[in-house]
Chains A and B, each alone.
Chain A
Amino acid sequence: MTPALRHAVIDAAAAALVAALLALPLLGFRLADSAQGLQLVTRLTWVPIAAGLVFAGRLGLLLAAPLWGRLLRQAPQGDLSVRGTNRRALLIGGALALGALILPLTPFGDRNLLDKATLLLIYVMLGWGLNIVVGLAGLLDLGYVAFYAVGAYSYALLAQHFGLSFWLCLPFAGLLAASFGILLGFPVLRLRGDYLAIVTLGFGEIIRVILLNWASLTGGPNGISGVPRPSFFGLPFVAHTPGNGSFHEVFGLAFSPNHRVTFLYYVILCLALLTNLFSLRIRRLPIGRAWEALREDEIACRSLGINPTTTKLSAFALGAMFAGLAGSFFATRQGFISPESFSFLESAVILAIVVLGGMGSQTGVVLAALLLVGLPEWFRDLQQYRMLAFGCAMVLIMLWRPRGLLAGRQPTIRLGADG
């Protein structure tokens, strides 16, 4: 036995021992409901199985380590790699955008796929929106989903009580979410990093609790159903309307339910691309530069005359606005909303998309959304294990690339001749 092998075996045995201890209480026994109350069912055979699996896995991982070495090594960091990463990111981003544009026209673009792609794009848009807050301004927001909820409920309520159309409500929902952002941000943005995180987390919970309990307005846990579907600028997607005014009649097409799916897909694609374009452009404006400067060094910013509170507030409000827009799209797509859709888990998923993508990288957000939202959607059959796999993926990607999938951070300004 070579020393390396012996070392690996000992290490794997230790891991197996820990695994056995971990598995003993929770896998070895099962609490089962029965007529006499709770019963304890023993299944101690599971413990050695779990330990054996961990032993084999750990041993395999350690023995394969030399082969893996290059793959597992952290992403190169530093200025040299930046430019290459950028060009690659731009290329991937362009290809993805083009692919997204022509997707409904390709033979793969059936209804099922478009539905999934629409969901994915909602998360991409939310990721880009949160990227303004977390990636550019460096504010850790754990309650982003609250603004998403505000957007969704404001559209649903406006449409139900005042009969306003989706296109009228959309800017209004954005504005409302932005004002919630200002309302929350004004008192708390003076707080430093992690305090801000817990307050935003609390705010997200408050919004959810209010939505859950203010039954007369929000319908409580039952939510709001029958949220109006969007129309093609006033032309509804229905088989028959009184005045021959539905989409397929005006355009002389045969009625197909796919029209609406395709339309929804293009709406969210436009909204998402708008978010992307907005954040790409605003990085070059003074306000965007101020965000990034503030993220790097608050004291230096203050001494240069940047007002940290208003600068942070603008990032917070703009991020909230995009969440609000995405929220009202979500409401019109689902036709039904309830507080369940706006739990902390959603905030965590969106934040994970931003961080896993590589903070501040727009293409990274798309890749991370594909990985975190797209893949589990494909494996819906494995319902039970879906969330478990999702959590594992979050941990493993972070261990593999702590700075995110596309980590090269682009300097906003390049000084010198080669810029």
Chain B
Amino acid sequence: MNYFLQQVINGVTLGAIYGLIAIGYTMVYGIIGMINFAHGDIMMIGAFISLIAFLLMAALGVTFLPLALLLVLLCSLVFTAIYGWAVERIAYRRLRGSFRLAPLISAIGMSIVLQNAVQLAQGARVKPLQPVIQGGIELSQRGADFPVTLGTLQIIIILLTIFLMAVFTLLIQRTSLGRAQRAAEQDMGMAALLGINVDRVISTTFVIGAALAGVAGLMVTLYYGVVDFYIGFVAGIKAFTAAVLGGIGSLPGAMLGGLLIGLIEALWSGYGSIEYKDVAVFAILVLVLLVRPSGLLGKPEIEKV
């Protein structure tokens, strides 16, 4: 039982990270209907920027941990958002309204560019980071066969994710930006006719998605303690799987999907074999899609002539 509880805690933490990345996929897909393949690599860039920011904080002598964390978070968020904006501006904007596969290929190209640019600029070797946040809460009774701990870092990750998702949901539901975004999602042409600057809305979508991915990158750096130029690919695929699992285009779906993928991965690694955890993730995706072809929370699409 304790072992199970520990895996659930690990799974929820992992799921929070996947959920944050999945939001970027699902938002972009909802508005312009493209799979933004470079999104995972944006997360990787966020991880690198936060690692650099950590070392910079140490060099500048910022030793008060909460302040350092906050500054690193801001750095990662802002610079990753700029990357997200630039990727959209360079590789996707010109292809809007073009033939369906063109932006996809452009996105795959962009993903290769980002990976290799980072590899060239920062070197191919795995970059380690000393654990920054340590300690945790012991949840199990004394003398239990398997100690259950809820790490401080895990608490921070989960709380930060909940906070960001709450802010984000409010943003989408209550602000004029959110309204414009939902309008553009339903009918881009009509939204443009009614005076919404669709280009700007799409840019903002990419910026928000990238900022969330930047935060996820920071979490990955802290949680795993290692960063290399290739982490974006696998995390990106898993997050996209999460978005599809939850129903692509649906924001609560992305969060739910992320949580499920995280749990599946943690439990499979805990009870099954760690090598085949990715196989389990994809197998469950296929099973869910067979029963519910539009994902768990997705709206079934009605095909019309």
Contacts and interface: CB of A to CB of B under 8 A. Distances in A.
A296 to B, nearest CB: 13
A41 to B, nearest CB: 10
Interface stretch (B155-163, B197-205, B263-271, B278-286): B278-286
A368 to B, nearest CB: 11
B17 interface: no
B116 A388 contact: yes
Contacts of B49: 25-26
Interface in A381-403: 384-385, 387-388, 390-395, 398-399, 402-403
A359 B51 CA distance: 42
A188 B286 contact: yes
A198 B29 contact: no
Nearest to B98: A402
A27 B279 CA distance: 37
A201 interface: yes
Which of B75, B104, B105, B276 has the most CB atoms of chain A within a 10 A radius of its CB? B105
Contacts of B48: 25-26, 31
Contacts of B240: 198
Question: In the complex, which range does the number of interface residues on chain A fall in?
Answer: 35 or more
Nearest to A187: B290
What range describes how many residues of B lie at the interface?
A: 35 or more
Interface in B77-107: 79, 82-83, 85-86, 90-91, 94-95, 98-106
A223 B52 CA distance: 37
A384 B286 contact: no
B285 A209 contact: no
A403 B56 contact: no
A195 interface: yes
A391 B127 contact: no
A132 interface: no
Given A18-B86, A37-B130, A209 B286 contact: no
Contact of B82 (A18, A205, A402): A18
B137 interface: no
Contact of A199 (B111, B118, B285): B285
Contacts of A39: 55
A280 interface: no
A31 B301 contact: no
B303 interface: yes
Given A31-B52, A399-B94, A394 B293 contact: no
Contacts of A345: 112
A21 B79 CA distance: 7
Contact of A22 (B29, B82, B101, B248): B82
A352 B37 CA distance: 13
Contact of B285 (A27, A33, A198, A385): A198
A209 B120 CA distance: 27
A38 interface: yes
Given A198-B285, A213-B275, A394 B105 contact: yes
Contacts of B122: 26, 30-31
B289 to A, nearest CB: 6
B93 to A, nearest CB: 10
A155 interface: no
Nearest to B282: A202
A40 B110 contact: no
B52 A40 contact: yes
A203 B282 contact: yes
Contacts of B102: 355, 398, 402-403
B116 to A, nearest CB: 4
Contacts of B153: none
Interface string A22-53: 10111101111100011110000000000000
Nearest to B34: A194
B136 interface: no
Contacts of A191: 289, 293
10 contacts: A22-B83, A26-B48, A30-B122, A37-B128, A191-B289, A202-B282, A209-B275, A209-B279, A387-B112, A388-B113
Given A25-B49, A402-B102, 17 more contacts: A22-B83, A26-B49, A26-B118, A188-B289, A194-B248, A195-B248, A198-B241, A199-B285, A202-B285, A212-B275, A348-B108, A384-B120, A391-B115, A392-B109, A395-B109, A398-B103, A403-B102
